[in-house]
Amino acid sequence: MRKAWLLALLLTTGACERQSATPADKAPMPFVQTAVAATRISGDAAPGSGQERAEDAGRALLGQAAPAVVAHTIDGQTVDLAKLYGRKPVYLKFWATWCVPCRQQMPAFEKDYETLGDKMTVIAVNTGFNDTEARVRAYREQFGLRMPIVIDDGALASALNLRVTPQHVVIGRDGRVLYVGHLEDERLHQAFDAALRERGADIAGRKAAADPVFAVGDRPHDLSATTMDGQAVSLDGPDHGGRLRALVFFSPWCESYLAKSRPAASEDCRRMRETVNGLAAQDQVRWLGVSSGLWANADDLQEYRKSTGTKIPLTLDASGRLFRAFGVRDVPTVVLIDQQGRIVAKLGPNHRDLAARIHAEEKTS
């Protein structure tokens, strides 16, 4: 199956040995040449691989102003990316504690941090997806990481089209995105070389979108989705059929990929899927499965639906907008919206009686 092939790929690609970087030409390089260099850095990637997914996601970003995001490290330091642009290159590495290739790349990442020294700002950006600060701190201790660590709230992931872990983003001294990739290889180190030889420039970072986040009691607005079958679904306002709406936030790989590294999380995903499939057969609730776009594309979602026998409509939240709008950072999570369009519950992975909660909400609505 394609999913099994993909998971095997995740286990092998991250373990690839880092190749030595091509020696850098020390001559300054204006932006036009840098953009061409960024195109050359992106080589041929295996179809469906993490490298291909990262390159596809980053293609529209190359040469564009990087986001002006203010982030905070787990040690309380403030990192204002906009103040770095024009002065120093920036290397952001997205990662997660449950990610196998991230774990395999960590020794090289720490070495890169030591080698780059004060020539480049290096930041480890934990995705904040199915992770906690306690896990991040334990991970830092285990690997002896010394670079600043930020736990993303979704702003950086959205602005930089996060699709895989790890995902490398190299921002040139001129404040423009120079490279997006997945592997710890020669291409990444070519990007370091290109970024370091750029001239500085006064560039204002791109302002990151500040979409509203809706909580229990709120009435979400300006939200919609398109299912895999092409149906448009409105997620705000009253339900015209007078039914409760249930949004099931999930990842297609949760049950299989996390079975060994996070068995409890894998079990939560399996239990929620089976519960939802059973309840959906009663046809009393308007269901929508919302898949994370992290390590998932339309083909993955189609395979998930086929292999699990999932009957509810599914949508791929590739940009992460719906996850951010409802403040979802863990899967599985179910958001219930009543007949009038008000959020009445947000049920996380540890919730055990979805049927009872739905029945209670139906009685009170």
Report pLDDT digits (tens) over 2-56: 444 344 334 434 333 333 222 222 233 333 344 434 444 555 678 889 999 999 9
pLDDT of residue 206: 79
Residues 280-300 have pLDDT tens digits of 999 899 999 999 999 999 999
Domains of the chain: 2-196 (3.40.30.10), 224-364 (3.40.30.10)
pLDDT of residue 204: 62
pLDDT over 90 at 334, yes or no: yes
Q: Work out the pLDDT band at 211, boundaries 50, 70, 90.
A: confident
Average pLDDT, the chain: 88
pLDDT of residue 365: 66
Q: Work out the pLDDT band at 343, boundaries 50, 70, 90.
A: very high
pLDDT over 70 percentage in the chain: 87
Q: What is the mean pLDDT of residues 54-68?
A: 96
Non-local CB neighbours of 168 within 8 Å, separated by 6+ positions = 54, 91, 92, 93, 94, 179, 180, 181, 182, 184, 188, 191
pLDDT over 80 at 66, yes or no: yes
pLDDT over 90 percentage in the chain: 78
Residues 126-161 have pLDDT tens digits of 999 999 999 999 999 999 999 999 999 999 999 999
Q: What is the mean pLDDT of residues 97-105?
A: 96
Q: Which of 325, 349, 321, 351 is nearest to 337 (CA)?
A: 325
Residue 203 contacts residue 128 (beta carbons within 8 Å): no
- Give phi and psi for 71, each to the nearest 5: -120, 165
Non-local CB neighbours of 357 within 8 Å, separated by 6+ positions = 336, 345, 347, 351
266 in helix, strand or coil?
helix
pLDDT of residue 202: 64
What is the Cα–Cα distance from 19 to 48, expressed in whole angstroms? 22
Residues 177-209 have pLDDT tens digits of 999 999 999 999 999 999 999 876 667 677 777
pLDDT of residue 256: 96
pLDDT of residue 41: 57
pLDDT of residue 169: 98
The pTM of the full predicted model, rounded to 2 decimals, is 0.88
pLDDT of residue 24: 28
Q: What is the mean pLDDT of residues 101-125?
A: 96
pLDDT over 90 at 214, yes or no: yes
pLDDT over 60 at 107, yes or no: yes
